[in-house]
């Protein structure tokens, strides 16, 4: 589940430049986190959410309450996207698997 910007935001814009995925945008004058781009900073060089860490307010950036299965599927899709982004991943997987099958028969 992505982070979101709340009504506590004072529009300082510090979080815009620190987000490693460029998920934070200004739309109609309001700061907004694109949930499709927010990775919770997982997989980046950062160990904590950068928007929350640098926010001068207490609750300007907060993690949205998460649903277990929604989180599970989000992680699953992220890992799958990483794997399938390697263009020949499934070709190589199939070649390797079929070779093993041939050798075992």
Residue ranges in contact with ligand SF4 by CB under 6 A:
3, 5, 9-15, 19-21, 23-24, 31, 33, 38-41, 49-51, 54-57, 60-61
If the CB atoms of residues 20 and 74 are measured against ligand SF4, the closer one turns out to be: 20
Reading the block at residue 6, the tokens are 């709340």
Neighbours of 19 (CB within 10 A): 24
If the CB atoms of residues 57 and 99 are measured against ligand SF4, the closer one turns out to be: 57
CB of 77 to ligand SF4, least distance (A): 16
If the CB atoms of residues 12 and 83 are measured against ligand SF4, the closer one turns out to be: 12
Furthest C-alpha separation in the chain: 67
| CA gap 3, 39 in Å, rounded | 9
CB of 55 to ligand SF4, least distance (A): 3
- Which residues 6+ apart lie within 8 Å of 52 measured at CB? 3, 61, 62, 63
């Amino acid at each position: 589940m992505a982070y979101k910007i709340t009504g506590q935001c004072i529009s300082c814009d510090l979080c815009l430049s620190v987000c490693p995925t460029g998920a934070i945008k200004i739309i109609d004058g309001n700061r907004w986190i694109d949930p499709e781009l927010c990775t919770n900073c997982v997989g980046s060089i950062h160990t904590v959410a950068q928007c929350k860490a640098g926010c001068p307010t207490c609750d300007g950036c907060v993690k949205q309450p998460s649903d277990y299965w929604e989180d599970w599927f989000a992680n699953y899709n992220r890992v799958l996207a990483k794997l399938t982004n390697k263009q020949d991943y499934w070709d190589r997987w199939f070649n390797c698997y079929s070779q093993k099958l041939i050798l075992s028969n």
